[in-house]
Amino acid sequence: MRALPFVGIDDFAFKKRLSYGTIFIDLETNKPLGLIPTRDSAEVTKWLLGHPEICLITRDGSRGYAKAVHDASPTIQQVADRWHVLHQLFEASKKAIYSCIPRKWNASSITVDKKVETTLAQESDSVPWNRSEERWQRIQQSQQLFSEGYRVATIARKLGVVRNTVYSDLNQTVSPYEERASPDTAYYPLVSSLVKDKMSSDQIEETCRSQGYTGSLDTLTGMITSARNRSANLETPGLSFRQKTLRLLWNPDNEDVLEELQSFHPDFLSTFPQIKELSKLIHSFRSLIKEKAADQLPQWIENHKGFENKSIQSFFQGVKNDLDAILLGIRLHWSNGPTEGNVNRLKTLKRLMYGRASFRVLEKRVLYHL
């Protein structure tokens, strides 16, 4: 068997969150070397001890695999996969954004358009049936055209209605509002004012009854619901910026990220100053990896150690704990990509034989490309 100086290692699931195995890959040929039905550190160390020629191993951020490799031989170089390091920063940044920006942000300078606000206010102080006037105007037009000698079909085409509607309009003698209005609607302004005062339905009913309301509870409930709907339309809308912020910050090609963030709202960056710091942190780290400037990593951590967020601080600590492997991951061309590819192939084979084969059969199919 030829020497295996460069190896990739990763885990795979027999049953997610319950049982796992480990696969070893030859990084020079991108072919699998072996499988074991566990990811226990002792068993991984045992497999590695059977291959003393290994001098470099790529892996993800697993502490268990890091310990297993060190126990097998402290001289083996451990290379942390760059994608996994970036993914850890992405998750930390996401948590930082979500802890900083509320789910719905009500900016103080956001106001409802004055024209809309006035219209809604007028509607809330009037009766709910605000289309009666429009219908009455159409009725009057229909009757005027008919008196001028126009036929029903012609009137229907002119007004954009069906002929049955024209017949109905010609028989109308009073305004629809007069037909539908009732003494109960006189209490709608009172109901609107009580809704604005955030009173409950029971309190509104008690107040209206004390003011002489004798109508049914259903009618009163309808007026309360209508008033609340109109009141809700006047409230300042909540703005959701979490996903947009994360997408902009993580885009490596976005050079005008701060300008785009400022375009969300004039007070956005001043309200959430951490976002500006987080933008610098993310882009400087990505540039560091792209330029393979591994020697700058300790200084990068030092420059940003004052960032006050638990998720980012946890990321810093994780980098410090695995610093040597991450430095090699940035400096060298090796990655754990081929290992991930073989894991995907293994998953396909496993699913083809689901419930019908033992680990030994799966191992042979993976190793011998059956």
What is the residue-wise DSSP string for 280-340?
Answer: HHHHHHHHHHHTT-GGGHHHHHHHHTT---HHHHHHHHHHHHTHHHHHHHHHSS--SHHHH
This prediction's pTM: 0.64
| Residue 10 burial (C-beta neighbours within 10 Å; 0-12, 13-18, 19+) | buried
> At a CB cut-off of 8 Å and minimum separation 6, what does 40 contact?
64
Could you count the other beta carbons within 10 Å of the beta carbon of residue 182?
Answer: 10
- What strands lie across the sheet with 6-15, from one edge to the other? 31-36, 19-26, 6-15, 56-59, 77-80
Query: Would strands 31-36 and 77-80 be described as parallel, antiparallel, or unpaired?
Result: unpaired
| DSSP state, residue 111 | -
Per-residue pLDDT of the chain (370 residues; tens, 9 = 90+): 456 789 999 999 888 888 999 999 999 999 999 999 999 999 999 999 998 899 999 999 889 999 999 999 999 999 999 999 999 999 999 999 999 888 888 766 444 444 444 444 444 444 444 566 778 888 889 989 999 999 999 999 988 899 999 998 898 877 665 555 566 777 888 888 888 888 899 999 999 889 888 888 888 898 898 888 877 665 555 567 888 888 888 887 777 888 888 888 888 888 888 998 999 999 999 999 999 999 999 999 999 988 888 999 999 999 999 999 999 999 999 999 999 999 999 999 888 887 777 888 888 889 887 5
| DSSP state, residue 14 | E
Q: What is the mean pLDDT of the chain?
A: 84
Tokens of 365: 């199919």
Using the structure block, give the residue that is written with the tokens 């400022």.
262
- What are the pLDDT digits (tens) for 105-140? 876 644 444 444 444 444 444 444 456 677 888 888
Backbone angles phi, psi at 240, to 5 degrees: -110, 115
Tokens of 19: 């049982």
> At a CB cut-off of 8 Å and minimum separation 6, what does 197 contact?
none
Three-class DSSP category at 253:
coil
Smallest Cα–Cα separation from 75: which of 59, 57, 61, 55?
55
What pLDDT, on the 0 to 100 scale, is given for residue 36? 92
* Distance, first Cα to last Cα, the chain: 20
